[in-house]
Amino acid sequence: MNNIQLDDNGRLRHFIGIEGLPRHLLVDILNNAESFISVADKQVKKAPLLRGKTIANLFFEPSTRTRNTFELAAKRLSADILNVNISMSATTKGETLIDMLRNMEAMQCDMFVIRHGESGAPFFMAQHVAPHVSIINAGDGWHEHPTQAMLDMFTIRQYKGADFSALKVAIVGDILHSRVARSQIHALTTLGASEVRVIAPKTLIPKNVESLGVHVYDRLMKGLEDVDVVIMLRLQKERMQGALLPSQHEYFQYYGLTDAKLEVVKPDAIVMHPGPINRGVEIDSEVADGDRSVILQQVSNGIAVRMAVMSMILAPKSTEQKKDKH
């Protein structure tokens, strides 16, 4: 499925998932994002790379971080951005996704950023768009959330350096329903992390997850021992069918991250969370707002990483190479 993401020269054409992408391409995204970080510090936060391009945000599920950072990223690259209000669109009158696409293409859109509850929706769209149009997956069902994983890798690199082979990373919580965890696991293993652990009650661990190259723990303190990075995940209650947990209270008792439980991690370990956080469910406020937390830095980094992905796909290749001069 990932071949559809690359053009004949191996460059990004769509960004649907991390699975199957080569390491050098993930490193290119991180390096490109580095060059965009400084744009945020300028008085005029603009680079002209995507002037004349039109990008449409199509969010069929709610979002605070992803939608707004895609919008800011597009604006900082000087693109025109449409935030399509799905609940007011003709999809509510029965228009299909494909017909919606065709109509948006007729408005000369160059890129669609799509979040959808159905796994595979962005892949389906990528199969049907016009040859000059690109798709970025902003999170699809349980499948992947690739730009979230890349902003997480960028944040890890910022705090821990570029050598992922020196790092032990623990991902804690609702692994089963998490598109973020799936993308993070692919990114971390591709970038060569020394060890990737997933920690959760057995009911929230996907079958055969070990085949992705991770170690499974069902005891939090054991799994956290000696790690450099702790990534907490929200319980995706909207995706749970049936009773997978006894109670939220009990979940917090066994899997909620508190300062006391962090005693076993490396002294300089960082705590991450893709958001939205549920305080007192998977993470205590003293951790979320504490010294180890880089949660808001992840959000800021999302702008530079999304600028990198959008420009790698859409910028004319000769100008993309000149971006360091913006």
Q: Which residues bind ligand CP (CB under 6 A)?
A: 63-66, 139, 145, 148, 274-276
Q: What is the end-to-end Cα distance of the chain in Å, rounded?
A: 35
**CB of 47 or CB of 277, closer to ligand CP:** 277
**CB of 49 or CB of 169, closer to ligand CP:** 169
**CB of 49 or CB of 274, closer to ligand CP:** 274
Three-state secondary structure of 56-111: EEEECCCCCHHHHHHHHHHHHCCCEEEEECHHHCHHHHCCCHHHHHHHHHHCCCCE
* Contact in structure between 135 and 114 (CB atoms under 8 Å): yes
CB of 225 to ligand CP, least distance (A): 27
Distance from C-alpha of 186 to C-alpha of 77, rounded to nearest angstrom: 28
The enclosing H or E element of 287 equals helix 285-288
CB of 103 to ligand CP, least distance (A): 25
**CB of 17 or CB of 139, closer to ligand CP:** 139
Helix (H/G/I), strand (E/B), else coil: 118? coil
**CB of 276 or CB of 290, closer to ligand CP:** 276
CB of 276 to ligand CP, least distance (A): 6
CB of 145 to ligand CP, least distance (A): 6
Beta pairing class for 80-84 and 195-199: unpaired
**CB of 47 or CB of 282, closer to ligand CP:** 282
Distance from C-alpha of 57 to C-alpha of 114, rounded to nearest angstrom: 6
**CB of 66 or CB of 184, closer to ligand CP:** 66
Helix (H/G/I), strand (E/B), else coil: 173? coil
Distance from C-alpha of 19 to C-alpha of 144, rounded to nearest angstrom: 9
CB of 298 to ligand CP, least distance (A): 8
- Token representation of residue 229: 């990075």
Q: What is the largest CA-CA distance in the chain?
A: 57
CB of 44 to ligand CP, least distance (A): 27
Sign of CA dihedral 298, 304, 308, 314: positive
CB of 179 to ligand CP, least distance (A): 9
